[in-house]
Structure 1
């Protein structure tokens, strides 16, 4: 039997998409068709924020796309060396929270140490952060929140006394576009990557 998977391919340690491998174990032949493409907007504005870790209490990554935005910023403006020599260490002196092991793995690849990856979703990560950060620290903390709009609500509600920074748009936007011919209902949808100032 053949199976059609409408998703982006991801390689595991074996160099194969885990869905294809798992379905293959049951005699199913899987074909992957990526249905979305992504375009980041305003990366220079984001890079400016990323270049000044002293203005933030930490980072919160809620998706692999957020990590991709960091990588693109560093590659595009040849900041990889500056990242390795200076910025990476400064960000590692702060808390770097992530949702999920896949995102944690990608954040680790850019040299950052993570916590919270076992929480599983944005709401549980927010609960985790609130459980380890005191009320005073939360009031003083201004974290960069790198997440999809749909996850923002889950996180924002947990930081009730945190300054508005975690959900203030800083100009880094992600346009999610359905690939031509794959989705007739919607031709495109915009999501904003939200970062704290």
Structure 2
């Protein structure tokens, strides 16, 4: 798809993104930057908080690549847990040697953000363009068979079962380990209240996960009141869109791929004045 920028066609509007700012980047968050190119003023509000767990067990597995057929990462948080596990391990000086053993296997990822973090650890990711766990599972099934050692899947406490189910139904051995727990951000209610008080009802609100829909929607409905129907709701992808529709929300746009560029283009198209 050709992504075009046409700032003149969009009146300055407020856009609310229900996600945490990307850490470790210089300058504005990529989503804010891309939306600004369309003349849109974006604000980020963190929805989720994370607690890392089982890092000692995770570390042991990471330094035993010979026991697994490859790795699967479907979220940046799992890669963050991996980085912490490596840095805390008494064997961390051996990582350069160990990572080459992992690179001799398949390192599967969903999305460019996760792929980038995996690359930062010296690993070579596959599947960054898959976009969803559903599509990634198809890639894995095309490449693997039941004779491989178990694929190792570090994941969060709230995970969809699509990928594990697809692999197990097709005889692909899989070993999962919960390495982070997801909860509602403690300041979510306060931050949303302050945003609506200071900036009013935004032209568009985008959700970035089914958990975000679960934790935010009631508050957003209350704060928007009778203006709720005026908001154009966006989703980062089909899984989140499904969760929104299940709650009765009309989804105005769902990003073709989970990238800042694709989401910004979709929101901008949604907010363009309709020609008569």
Equivalence map 1:154-173=2 (5 Å): 154-159=162-167, 160=169, 161-163=171-173, 165-167=174-176, 170=177, 172-173=178-179
Please give the secondary structure, in 2, of the residue aligned with 1:119: coil
* 2:154 is equivalent to residue 139 of structure 1: no
Superposition TM-score, scaled by structure 2 size: 0.57
Q: Partners of 2:44 and 2:110 in 1: how far apart? A: 25
- Structure 2: tracts of 5 or more residues without a match: 1-12, 191-213, 216-276
**Bigger CA drift: 142-151 or 153-162?**
142-151
Residues 62, 151 of structure 1: 8 Å contact kept = no
Cross-structure match for 1:105: 116
Say if 2:190 is the partner of 1:179.
Answer: no
Q: CA deviation at 1:76?
A: 2.3
**1:19-168 alignment to 2 at 5 Å?**
19-77=31-89, 79-84=91-96, 86-133=97-144, 135=145, 138-148=146-156, 151-159=159-167, 160=169, 161-163=171-173, 165-167=174-176
Over 3 Å counting, the alpha-carbon distance change for 1:43 and 1:180 in structure 2 is same
Q: 1:117 to 1:23 in 2, by over 3 A?
A: closer
Q: Distance in 1 between matches of 2:122 and 2:99?
A: 7
The aligned runs of 1:6-25 (5 Å cut-off) are: 6-10=18-22, 15-25=27-37
In 1: Cα distance, 2:111 partner to 2:187 partner:
31
Q: Are the aligned partners of 2:67 and 2:149 in contact in 1 as well (CA < 8 Å)? A: no
Distance (whole Å) between structure 1 residues aligned to residue 128 and residue 101 of structure 2 = 21
User: 3-state DSSP class of the match of 1:139?
Assistant: coil
Shift in Å, 1:114: 1.4
CA shift for structure 1 position 121: 1.1
Q: In terms of Rg, which structure is larger?
A: 2
2:228 maps to none
Conserved? CA contact 2:78–2:179, under 8 Å: no
State how many pairs are aligned: 179
Does the 8 Å contact 1:62/1:148 carry over to 2? Answer: no
